[in-house]
Structure 1
Amino acid sequence: MAMRDGGLLDVRPGADSGRAAPEHSGAYLAAGLALALYAGALLAWVVTGAVDARVSPLDFAEGLFNPLAGPVGVLEPQEWALAVALAAVAGAALAQRTVARPAAVLLACLVLARSLREGVGLLHPGYRSAYRFETMGGWTLATHVLGLLTGIVVLCVLLPARPEARQGRDAGSWWQGRVSRICGVLFLLAGLFETAWMVRLLTAGAEGTGSYLAGAVDAAVSPSVDAPVAGVAFSALASLATWLIVGRLALSGRRDVRGALLVFAAVQLYLVVRTVVGYTVTGAFGAGTRTVEGTLDLACTAYLLAAMTSVLVLTTGRAFSPRRGSTHSWARTRPE
């Protein structure tokens, strides 16, 4: 809706463009419920592990950010961050926000990949038998099955629920031309830096390339039947794939990738901040600059910290599109 007030043009959309279309309401509701259920399962693991370890609330809070504070449960930091991201996206999906769709699709792919990795491990008889001897083996398997169902449900209901494309310059040319491409470049550079760093570590002989890659896709290589964790190799390769794929989509000006950029940047920022805290506690900043490898590690960490913060700032800002023939200034614009 446009109204003139003297020499000013007041541009106010007649409908909330951030809400899902009424015909997609059921899809967003189903996806939100599925994500909330799996997030609740992971959070239950976090709480149960902290209670069993008799971790006080203050020690638990410190352990979330200080890797040297000691264990705070059976799950890894990647699972903590995933649980929070799932809960946040579930809330956005239940609120019928369109920004939740790309984020939910991304999380569904990650959750589905985690569950399929466990399925590959179950092909080994020895790994299957290990579930019978672990006290929490049944709950671990149930959590992976729930993740498999969650991923399938979210992808099946949200992939067809595409938002309606708006015509003309109102379709988000400002986002497509600037913010999306900037975020895409930042994501692609992060993926390239992490790829180079991983190749350096694997070729240096610190860990066998074959066993590392096998552990990323086969749960039996690094057994964890006592908790639904995916391991370091899977998390590293999943992050690389996400940076490169989402970065490529953002670089092409895909406005509907904003939610995926937002949620993944938030998760990675938390993990990087936790790493920085660990470096600060151990004094690694001073020692790291004495070697080439340490300097590269610190440089990569600094870039990730700056890049993910930039993506969060850009994606949480108000992405509005000026109408043709006007300059934008939040809600009101003046004709040129």
Structure 2
Amino acid sequence: MYTTSAPHVAVLYQELPPPLINGVRKPKKPGGYIDSSADIAHALTHHSPVSVITPVSTPDPRNDADWCFGDSEAGIARALEKGATHLWANTILFAEHPLQTADSLTGVAQTVRVVGQPPKLVQLCDDKAFVNNLLRSRGGFTLPDAHDVQDEEDLADVLQTDLRYPIVAKPVRGRGSYGVRVCRSEEELIEHCRDLLREDASVIVEDFLAGQEVTVTVMPPSPATGQDDYWAMPVVERFNHADGVAPYNGTVAVLQNSRCLSEDEHLADPHYGEVQRQCVEVAKLLQCTAPIRVDARRFREEESSSFALFDVNMKPNMTGPGRPGRENQASLTALAAAGLGWDYPTLLLKILESSSSLHDLRNATPSHVIGKWFG
């Protein structure tokens, strides 16, 4: 799989608090993905040729912190001092993140490899309004009608438009289903928007898509293994919604409300192939360097209805089984991988193959996206 010696991988979790970006703060997941970071490290340790670097010499499978490093400059330095050649950035990146800015990493930027997106790209594309507007400006993508709400004045203007209830209101820098609500009246919409605005959040108000929900993971190119283009994993269906919204996987395990569609189901409905195609085009446009996951729903409940893309996730959840007490843990991407015949460790190895040098991530300037914002 690798032309040089086996990678020495250290997994990073979100230790740093999310920054305030243009007056908006992305909510931090409790624990900062330390649970899934431990899942990744544990799986790579026990089921692959990869060498895993951990904070302690004999990590306890039941103790998340034994398996991964915080994403502060000190945490990253500690991982490198212990011999890491690859950093798995299972965290939320941004333009001022140490992976982007720390002078202490400049000397190793050419040799250290990272599983993750360019931090500047994540800062832009974690803003769902930015991504939606970018996709609309490029054309060729099916999206629900939406309005951006940054303050009370915007909210008043939106309320004057021809809104069709129920309607969805959600934060522009969201996390999972946090802050997403299907509002069934003007009073609910006003109340929810004002609650989000008080939480340092701008809001997207968009049409409610009433039909089947699916999600598609798109894998990045992996030239080292001969995979030179982006490609879509099998479609995963989501069901058993709570008040019209797929519940957060920390509340309801994805195995209880999601399943990978079979090859026959894919072939029987051309809408699945079309949504996969559009998701691949999203990844190409953004020039992603790690997997992304795009959520979509049919406009109507009828199977003849087409899908609209409603959420681009720059860091899909990577929870997986293997550690004691986590036998039923999975992620939507892992479900899609199972449809290819991959178990969790195989999925992780495939993702690891697409790692980029830290130098390349720092200097990435995807056309149409980063260039006009950061120069």
TM-score by length of 2: 0.30
Q: Which has the higher strand share?
A: 2
Higher helix fraction: Structure 1 or Structure 2?
Answer: 1
Instruction: Specify which structure has the bigger relative contact order, considering alpha-carbon pairs within 8 angstroms and separated by 6 or more residues.
Output: 1
